[in-house]
């Protein structure tokens, strides 16, 4: 069976790196759309109500430009247990606009509510081809927000402690990381779904 290859519909360098790493872990490959298309494009503005809608819009947009490719896009967000109605689908826009990228982790640490400091992190990956949505894949991580960031790693991985563990995602080796990480779960479902379809 030929290896699955997906085109990544994002301008976020961290997402490109993480999706490529996670696809490789599950036996597939990922490629930045810019390397195939030969240019960078501006995506349509994202909505504020649905992870699935945002991911679908991005995947369909790039798949219209690369109609023969399997194109994936994701949308993710965090919800704090005791602050309903905050963040969620608007996580990136709210946090980065209010606090700036370097201060996002500290902002979440301060907003987490004791005693459990609970959170839920959601990801939806949309798969599209020829401008049409083929499938949606979901991942979810629950746990608690750390009180201090882990000294290594990147972004929210430094402060998200999966339920049942005492260390954040950034401290976990890759085989353990992918069991808990929300985006990894969606990637695993994607590869499994495509592999079963081709069997």
Give 2-12 pLDDT, tens digit per residue.
789 999 999 98
Domain range for 69 is: 5-198
The one catalytic residue in 75, 116, 157, 197 is 75
Is residue 75 part of the annotated active site? The answer reads yes
Give 32-83 pLDDT, tens digit per residue.
999 999 999 999 988 778 899 999 999 999 999 999 999 999 998 888 888 7
User: How far does the chain reach from its first CA to its final CA, in angstroms?
Assistant: 8
Domains identified in the chain, total number: 1
CATH number for the domain harbouring residue 92: 3.90.950.10
Angle at 168 between CA 125 and CA 147, to 5 degrees: 120
pTM reported for the whole predicted model: 0.91
CA atoms within 13 A on the CB side of 34: 10
């Amino acid at each position: 069976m030929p290896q699955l290859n997906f085109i990544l519909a994002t301008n976020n360098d961290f997402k490109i790196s993480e999706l490529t790493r996670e696809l490789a872990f599950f036996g597939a490959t990922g490629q930045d759309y810019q390397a195939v298309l030969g240019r960078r494009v501006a995506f349509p503005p994202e909505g504020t109500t649905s992870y699935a809608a945002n991911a679908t819009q991005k995947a369909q947009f790039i798949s219209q430009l690369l109609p023969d490719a399997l194109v994936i896009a994701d949308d993710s967000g965090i919800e704090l247990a005791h602050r309903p109605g905050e963040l969620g689908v608007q996580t990136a826009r709210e946090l980065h606009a209010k606090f700036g990228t370097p201060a996002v982790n500290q902002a979440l640490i301060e907003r987490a509510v004791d005693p459990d400091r609970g959170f839920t992190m959601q990801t939806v990956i949309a798969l599209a081809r020829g401008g049409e949505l083929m499938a949606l894949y979901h991942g979810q991580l629950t746990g608690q927000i750390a009180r201090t960031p882990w000294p290594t790693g990147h972004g929210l991985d430094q402060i998200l402690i999966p339920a049942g563990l005492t260390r954040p995602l950034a401290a976990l080796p890759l085989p353990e990381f992918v069991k808990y990480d929300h985006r990894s779960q969606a990637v695993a479902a994607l590869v499994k779904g495509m592999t079963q379809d081709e069997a």
